[in-house]
Amino acid sequence: MSEADAALPESAVAIFCTMLAMSEPGSVHAGVDEVARLATRASLSEFVWGLCTAWQRAGYPANSQWVVHALGLLGDDRVALALGQLILTWSGTYGSARAVACLDVFAAIGTSRSLEQLDRMSYDGRSPRVRRAALEKLSAVDAGHGMSYW
């Protein structure tokens, strides 16, 4: 079966997006796990980055914040790197708030590359708020692994 044959039909994509929107940190819709079991990590990561791109084109509507959680849930190192670049372009009050909300994505992905991005935000973030939040998130990740960032 080719990759094109394995693609979800459009109606299933809409249902999958609904399942992602219903998911929250600590409470993932069971259907998301089922789709994740059937798909490759790379294809899921590409899918959620596409959602992020659509969210960006739509002007980051607040009712689509679930996309941030989906990035952490299904993203990989490529998502972490691309999100890191995107966060560095955000400035101002709304961009800073959005950047802080997206820091959880790096911790959720949890790879060394994604945590490098979190560290990068602690010194390259556009605002003191982002840098401070990144340091706090790094400390929380380290504490969860029995380490100390300080």
Q: What is the pLDDT of residue 5?
A: 45
How do residues 45-71 score in pLDDT, each as one tens digit? 999 999 999 999 999 998 999 999 999
Q: Which pLDDT band, with edges at 50, 70 and 90, does 143 fall under?
A: low
Looking at the chain, the whole-number percentage of residues with pLDDT higher than 70 is 90
Q: Which pLDDT band, with edges at 50, 70 and 90, does 145 fall under?
A: low
Q: What residues form DSSP beta bridges with 27?
A: 24
Residue with tokens 């079966």: 1
Q: How does DSSP classify residue 24?
A: B
Is the dihedral angle over the CA atoms 54, 106, 43, 67 positive or is it negative?
Answer: negative
Q: What is the pLDDT of residue 6?
A: 61
Q: Which pLDDT band, with edges at 50, 70 and 90, does 136 fall under?
A: very high
How do residues 101-135 score in pLDDT, each as one tens digit? 999 999 999 999 999 999 999 999 889 999 999 99
Give the H/E segment covering residue 98.
helix 92-109
CA dihedral 129, 134, 136, 140 (to 10 degrees): 160
CB-based contact 67:55 (threshold 8 Å): yes
Q: What is the pLDDT of residue 147?
A: 47
CB-based contact 48:67 (threshold 8 Å): yes
**CA–CA separation, 97 and 58 (whole Å):** 17
Is the dihedral angle over the CA atoms 93, 132, 49, 11 positive or is it negative?
Answer: negative
How do residues 15-24 score in pLDDT, each as one tens digit? 999 999 999 9
User: Hey, where are the domains in the chain?
Assistant: 10-144
Q: What mean pLDDT do residues 67-81 have?
A: 97
